[in-house]
Amino acid sequence: MNFIAATVEIAAHSDSPTTAYGLEYAEAAATIPGTAQASSVLLRLLCYNGGGAKLNAFKALQPGTRVFITGSLCFGSDPSQPMDVIVTTLEPSIPSNMYCNQVMLGNAFFGSSDITERKNGQLAVKIGTTMDNSDTTTWLFLETDGSRKPKLESRIRKGRPICVQGYFREFRKDDSGSPYRAIVAYDFTTRKERERAQNPATTGTAAGYAEVDPTPDTTGF
């Protein structure tokens, strides 16, 4: 599961419900405001029995309105299109200066064993993520502070599962083509690799796996 909690600005509503993932949704194009370029998302709210207070509130949102949402973050097969957010909660009454952009990728994996060091000291690694019950992989980047290089070097392995906590950012050079997308990580955890010739009864771990990291360290952010 990929989770997002964010303040978004409504851009435009779809004229009629659309079908996606086998269900019917009301849609609205939106952006996640930021200090740099805003990130585009497509909000989807489930149409349940044709109405409901949350659905009516969603449809009533005017372009330019900022709201707080939580939901599932879905990456489609076409990277040039905005990401889908399946909205779970919607709060339309928020302060005008409220800002939130929090993402957790729970089903990501390392797409490469290579680490790129940016000129600003940030580290970047290619990661992939898939939707539940889907074989379609979406590629993006994990970016993190250079202080986490020793941890990253010790954990990175192509194909290894990783859970990433951070915020989402997107950059488009123009209106065409695929954007650069990244999760700027506060921290990340990995499931340690299977250990050979060890008895879980003596090591204290189950099924040959060692424990993941404890509570993430968010100091310095």
The pLDDT of residue 17: 86
The pLDDT of residue 218: 40
End-to-end CA distance of the chain: 24
Three-point CA angle 15, 18, 21, nearest 5°: 160
Instruction: Name the nearest CA neighbour of 178 among 137, 140, 217, 122.
Output: 140
Instruction: Name the nearest CA neighbour of 111 among 135, 131, 137.
Output: 137
Please report, for residues 149, 173, 194, the alpha-carbon distance to residue 155 in angstroms, rounded to integers and kept in the order given.
10, 32, 13
**pLDDT category, 61, cuts 50, 70, 90?**
very high
Which residue(s) pair with 161 in the sheet? 109
**pLDDT category, 206, cuts 50, 70, 90?**
very low
Say yes or no to pLDDT of 91 above 80: yes
**pLDDT category, 221, cuts 50, 70, 90?**
very low
Say yes or no to pLDDT of 197 above 70: no
**pLDDT category, 177, cuts 50, 70, 90?**
low
The pLDDT of residue 215: 41
For each of the domains in the chain, give its residue range(s) and CATH number, in order of start.
2-100 (2.40.50.140), 104-192 (2.40.50.140)
The pLDDT of residue 104: 94
**pLDDT category, 196, cuts 50, 70, 90?**
very low
More confident residue, 123 or 1: 123
CB 77 within 8 A of CB 130: no
Average pLDDT, the chain: 82
CA–CA gap between residue 117 and residue 115 (Å, rounded): 7
CB 144 within 8 A of CB 105: no
127-176 pLDDT, tens digit per residue, is 998 866 567 788 899 999 999 999 999 999 999 999 999 999 888 776 65
Instruction: Name the nearest CA neighbour of 2 among 145, 108, 151, 78.
Output: 108
Model pTM score: 0.78
CA–CA gap between residue 126 and residue 113 (Å, rounded): 8
CA–CA gap between residue 140 and residue 125 (Å, rounded): 9
Say yes or no to pLDDT of 211 above 50: no
Strands 137-144 and 180-190: what pairing? parallel
CA–CA gap between residue 129 and residue 213 (Å, rounded): 20
CA–CA gap between residue 99 and residue 108 (Å, rounded): 25
